[in-house]
Amino acid sequence: MAKTAKAKAVKAIVIALLFLALCSSASAIENSTTIQSVKAEIAITGSGEITGDLQGRTAAFKVISFSETPNQRLLSLDESLEINGKTISAQKEQDQYGNRYAVFNIGETGSFTYRQKALIETNQVLTRLEEYDLSEKIGQHSEYMQPTEKVESNSEEIRTIALNSFDSNSWLETARGVTEWVNGYLTYDLSYYPGIYSAIETLESKRGTCDEFAILAAAMLRAREIPVKFVSGITYGEQQWANHSWIEAFNPESGWKPIDPTYGEAGIVDGTHFYMGAFPDPTDAADEITVPGRANASIGNKQVSVSVQETKAFSGILGIAAEDISFKANQWFEISAIVRNRTNSALIVPVSLTPVEGMLMQKEKQIIILGPLEEMELKWPVRVNAELQPNQFITGKYSIITLNEEIEKNMEVVPGNATSTEADITLNSLVPIVEGQDLALEIELQNLGAKPGNVRVEISNGTSSSETVTVNAFETKQVTIKVENRDLEPYTISFLGPGLSYSTIVMVQEGQAIAAGSENPDLRPGRILDSLNIGGEETILLIVGIAGVIAIVFLLKELLIK
């Protein structure tokens, strides 16, 4: 969710984290990932206040506006500001990234409200997605490959995961793998709204909203030297319209391609994505107000409302075939589906089996790559544990959802006895996390069997150590094993247990210094008070929450007077 705005003064710059509010619309959409096109009226409203003495000059209030893209038409746009009963029309401005802004020149103090009303039509047309070999360095768009304030792609923490977990030289596989991993690794948590947390902070919490999903994915892709833009906009999710963030990754053979790790979409996103702007860092997606003299300014929350007029679903992209099923209780059964790519382009698509209450599943969502016209069989192991009498059975329905289609089929569970009472353990994930001088191995194990089982985890790097992990019947268990005083030599990690025998190599990756001549000032530590020069033009940079905006404006005034 794009949650950043900034208030800027000529003699003092305040960067304020100000946020679009979540807000429901009169228009609900089912299965938004199947929607190709939306025509909707969008209204964004907000407020602010200018106080003090403008000394006969004007304040400039700049807010990000809507842009046209190959997938988005701007049919009408009206932007205005009201202050003291007067209406001010917006002037247009464009930044160095091509983003459009509405600029209001305000010549008096007082409280103001503003409104941006647009009629927009999206149409997410599938364009060709090609493979690219990442062993050939991408020489374009280097400004979107650099680490930034929130995207610390040059850090040990990010590079260690990126270069161990996403080591393929396939652009398609790297994009798919990062999208799937972020989508599964993070838990969507609205309590993290309205903050914006960096990639490293998100690794630590494993939680966040769409900002954090986008930031972590951007960090992993940039660590693989893929240029990434941070996109700010609006989309439909969780049964409501809301501000939203996703990313665009550059493919030299195909151009900029959208990736939305929150929803597991890559290469193409659904038509409920309304684009507003793209930036190197989420903190760049900011509104700003510039006030001269001894005037002060504050900006309040934004509200967004969406009224949908028309929608159109994707068609002709994918085909899905599945069958009605009947299987025995207390036994694992594989639900299968055939997914067909009907296009002449490669696709990266999410395919989800909707869980049924009481059903054990190994994995709900799969994100897959399909070549042109390729057909693939997908399988989901499922199980229902139930003591059924010979004349009893359970009936229900299961659904499979993908980009342009949802199918629903009947399912029946009949009496059955367990065919195996032994443990059967799989390794779901291994994530190497750098924690200071230590290396933490985050491991997820899943026991598909009816008995507890032990897994021996052995770590060798010149010397060996081991730890035994017990996983109960039908349990998914996360454990963290720490290696103290880690070094840069490779570690061999081995797993041995019922149904599991696996080894892999993990290497800690050193952080990269920023190249000479390309220092990014956002990465300098202590970016709270950047500079204060009373004899000349003062610049004070502060990251604050909305409650602190007015207080900090007064604090700045006191600093400047002194």
In this predicted structure, the answer to whether residue 219 has a pLDDT above a threshold of 90 is yes
Residue (of 386, 363, 443) closest to 184 by Cα position: 363
Pick among 2.60.40.10, 2.60.260.20, 3.30.1360.10, 1.20.1250.20: CATH of 318-414: 2.60.40.10
Residue 160: Cβ within 10 Å count? 23
* Residue pointed to by tokens 């280097």: 142
What is the Cα 480 distance to its own chain's centre?
A: 24
- Is the predicted pLDDT of residue 2 greater than 70, yes or no? no
Domain 7-124+283-313+522-561 identical in fold to domain 318-414: yes
Give phi and psi for 223, each to the nearest 5: -65, -25
Q: Which residues contact 64 (CB under 8 A, 6 or more apart)?
A: 99, 100, 101, 232, 276, 277, 285, 286, 287
d(CA 2, CA 8): 19
- DSSP-assigned letter for residue 238: T
Inform me whether the pLDDT recorded for 184 exceeds 70: yes
The DSSP element (H or E) to which 213 belongs, if any, is helix 210-223
- pTM for the predicted model, two decimal places: 0.84
DSSP string covering 223-262: HTT--EEEEEEEEEETTEEEEEEEEEEEETTTEEEEEETT
pLDDT, tens digit, 9 for 90 and up, residues 36-72? 999 999 999 999 999 999 988 999 999 999 999 999 9
Helix (H) or strand (E) holding 218: helix 210-223
Separation between Cα atoms, residue 232 and residue 499, nearest integer Å: 45
User: Does position 533 have pLDDT exceeding 80, yes or no?
Assistant: no
DSSP label of 170: B
Q: Is the pLDDT of residue 268 over 80?
A: yes
HEC states along 15-72? Answer: EECCCEECECCCCCCCCHHHEEEEEEEEEEEEEEEEECCCCCCCEEEEEECCCCECCE
Q: For residue 438, give the nearest of 147, 156, 152 by alpha carbon.
A: 156
Residue 541 pLDDT > 80:
no
pLDDT of residue 29: 60
The three-state secondary structure class of 268 is coil
Point out the least confidently predicted range of 7-16, 136-145, 358-367, 409-418: 7-16
Higher pLDDT, 530 or 386: 386
pLDDT at 1: 46
pLDDT band at 27 (very low <50, low <70, confident <90, very high): low
Integer Cα distance of 320 and 342 in angstroms = 11
Residue of 531, 520, 530 whose CA lies nearest to 155: 520
Look at residue 513 in the predicted model and tell me its pLDDT.
53
Report the chain's C-alpha Rg in angstroms. 26
CA distances from 314 to 12, 48, 204, 236, 367 (A): 49, 41, 37, 16, 18
* Domain boundaries 7-124+283-313+522-561, corresponding CATH code: 2.60.40.2250
Residue 176 pLDDT greater than 70, yes or no: yes
Per-residue pLDDT tens digits for 358-394: 899 988 999 999 999 999 999 999 999 999 999 999 9
pLDDT-derived band at 521 (thresholds 50, 70, 90) equals: very low
Of 13 and 339, more confident: 339
> Which region among 21-35, 224-238, 397-411, 475-489 has the lowest average model confidence (pLDDT)?
21-35
For residue 30, the model assigns a pLDDT of 64
Q: What is the token pair recorded at 393? A: 């059975």
**DSSP-based helix, strand, coil % in the chain, nearest 5:** 15, 45, 40
Whether the per-residue pLDDT at 332 is higher than 90: the answer is yes
Statement: residue 291 has pLDDT above 80: yes
Give the closest residue to 162 by CA, choosing from 510, 522, 513.
Answer: 510
| Residue 556: predicted pLDDT | 30
What is the average pLDDT value for the chain, to the nearest integer? 84
Which option is the CATH number for 142-272: 3.40.640.10, 3.40.30.10, 3.10.620.30, 3.40.50.150? 3.10.620.30
**C-alpha pair distances (Å), 559 with each of 191, 258, 531:** 34, 44, 12
Q: In the chain, how long is the greatest CA-to-CA distance?
A: 90
Domain ranges of the chain: 7-124+283-313+522-561, 142-272, 318-414, 425-506
What does the pLDDT look like over 116-170, one tens digit per residue? Answer: 999 999 999 888 999 999 999 999 999 999 999 999 999 999 999 999 999 999 9
Q: State the CATH architecture for 425-506.
A: Sandwich (2.60)
Q: Name the more confident of 297 and 556.
A: 297
Q: How far apart are CA 490 and CA 505, in angstroms?
A: 6
As given in the structure block, the two tokens for residue 51 are: 């106080």
The rounded Cα 96 to chain-centroid distance in angstroms is 24
pLDDT at position 103, please? 97
Confidence class of residue 10 from pLDDT cuts 50, 70 and 90? Answer: very low
Instruction: Read off the pLDDT band of 462 (50, 70, 90).
Output: confident
Amino acid at 412: E
